[in-house]
Amino acid sequence: MNRQEMSARIAAGHGFIAALDQSGGSTPKALRAYGIADEGWDGDEEMFALIHEMRSRIIRSPAFSGAKVVGAILFERTMDGSVDGTRVPQALIAKGVVPFLKIDRGLEDEADGVQLMKPIPALDDLLERAKGLGVFGTKERSVINAANASGIAAIVRQQFEVAAQVLSHGLMPILEPEYSIKAADRSEGEALLREEILHGLDALPAGEQVMLKLSLPVTANFYRALVEHPKVLKVVALSGGYSRDEACVELERNDGVIASFSRALLDGLRASMDDREFDVELGEAIDAIDRASTMKTTT
């Protein structure tokens, strides 16, 4: 796939984007869910080797293909690694899956109801390296915890600033201002978020597009104006703490939005499974998330 073909695959949305980007802070939790306890590794190198093997097992599974998985978001170490001797981005492309890279370095402490991204050192170098490896785009996450107008404006402003840097390298940014599903004022805050994003989109130069990764909204199709905006290639949804079944039900209610699930994709996978068990479990998860991404219950 060339970049134009990758863009077309994402825009068509015939499937979903797998989030395989657990970083250092979330890796132990992901390994525990996979059935590997903390005492199963000694130090960061062993921990990252185990999570890389889990991701490699997913990527090499026959259940994981471009038929239903249109993209995959990678942690930097995963991007730099290999699957059976092939660099991971190229292994994905060979299966018809568009590679993305998580570029954020974690969150600042909360202020004004939000957690901005920490600075991203040497980002220009990282973006050039990612592009050279065949990566199509990036993902950058920050978090909204309350309907604070100034905080939400700041978080969206930062997202678009990072997106501009990504676009300058010829890569496609996924802006991810996640709204915590635990927030009591989420309906009010989502209205503020939608308006700030629309302002940011309208200010983009002609001919440029971004992607958006958003929490599933309280009201079905609340982000329709974003889905239909000409400067948005695709809107994808995170599971945000919902179970897979819950996330799929919510996703089905939002037309034009596809999944970009992490934990909700990996639930049920265990290191102790043989290959047949693993492939069946992964296939069932992929089928369920694909259905919710492509077969909607609203119009």
* Domains identified in the chain and CATH numbers: 3-294 (3.20.20.70)
pTM of the model: 0.95
pLDDT tens, position by position, 217-256: 999 999 999 999 999 999 999 998 899 999 999 999 999 9
Q: Rounded to an integer, what distance in angstroms lies between the CA atom of residue 115 and that of residue 143?
A: 5
The reply to whether 213 belongs to the active site is yes
Cα gap 175→197, rounded to integer Å: 10
Distance between CA 52 and CA 107 in Å, rounded? 23
DSSP characters over 28-86: HHHHHHTT--GGG--SHHHHHHHHHHHHHHHHHSTT-STTTEEEEEE-HHHHHSEETTE
Q: CB count, 10 Å around CB of 272?
A: 9
From first to last of the 299 residues of the chain, give the pLDDT tens digit.
Answer: 999 999 999 999 899 999 998 776 778 888 998 999 988 888 888 998 999 999 999 999 999 999 999 999 999 999 999 999 999 999 999 999 999 999 999 999 999 999 999 999 999 999 999 999 999 999 999 999 999 999 999 999 999 999 999 999 999 999 999 999 999 999 999 999 999 999 999 999 999 999 999 999 999 999 999 999 999 999 999 998 899 999 999 999 999 999 999 989 999 999 999 999 999 999 999 999 999 999 998 65
Q: Beta-carbon neighbour count of residue 6 at 10 Å?
A: 23
Q: Which of 68, 95, 213, 234 is catalytic?
A: 213
Catalytic residue among 68, 95, 102, 176: 176
